[in-house]
Amino acid sequence: MRQYDNERIASLEAENVVLRSERDELSAKVDALTAKIVELTKQAFGRRSERAKMAQDVNAEPIGALEESSDPEPDEVPRRKRGQQLGHRGHGRRSYDHLPRVQQIHEPDSKLLVCGSCGAPYAPFGEERCEEIDVEVIVRVIDHIRPTYRRGCNCKATRGRSWRTTSEGSSKKVGCRLGSSPISWWRSFSLGSRSTGYVQHLRCKGPTSLLRLWWERCVA
């Protein structure tokens, strides 16, 4: 009798060892799956508060209670997806009835409209229609021509002046007197003023070599 009891105890101890190992294995799997769920939840709804003690509360609370105890951050609110939302009425197709229409009939090759065996012609069998929105783009170059004028007399009052017409048709002086400081002329050129007529006038009157060199570089 005592021998039977000893064998029974040994068998139960061996079974206990096996059950303990299975329990430890299942516990490790539960921990791994729990960590995976927490990671996926963070990816889906944002970061959770660090005040939630994951390692201590995994075995004490279920996953749902653990998520409720953590303080959600403002960016955890799921954003609205782009495009049409479920449950909302669509906008329908846009109408293009106000656009002018041009019909283009695409007939197949006449050689293909006969039977390959007997040569009998094909009979009309309806048609297929489709619409295409054609946007015509016009690319062009606009030449803005502003006539320029130079002095044609020897009057001292207008010496060294050049005139040109503006887009409104009125005349506008460009440049300065030859005897005055050239700062205003350089300033007008740096600001984008059209001083071409004045420079051409200087070339006709025989400008210095420095000014001629500068002009050749500008027009090159």
pLDDT digits (tens, 9 = 90+) for 143-191: 989 888 777 777 776 555 555 544 454 444 444 344 444 444 444 444 4
For residue 96, is pLDDT > 90? no
Q: Which residues contact 191 (CB under 8 A, 6 or more apart)?
A: none
Is 144 strand, coil or helix? Answer: coil
More confident residue, 101 or 81: 101
For residue 205, is pLDDT > 60? no
For residue 102, is pLDDT > 50? yes
Confidence tier at 79 by pLDDT (50, 70, 90):
confident
| Torsion sign (Cα): 56, 62, 65, 66 | positive
For residue 118, is pLDDT > 80? yes
- pLDDT tens digits along 28-45: 999 999 999 988 888 887
For residue 26, is pLDDT > 90? yes
**Rounded to the nearest 10 degrees, what angle do helices 209-219 and 196-204 cross at?**
140
| Torsion sign (Cα): 23, 28, 31, 36 | negative
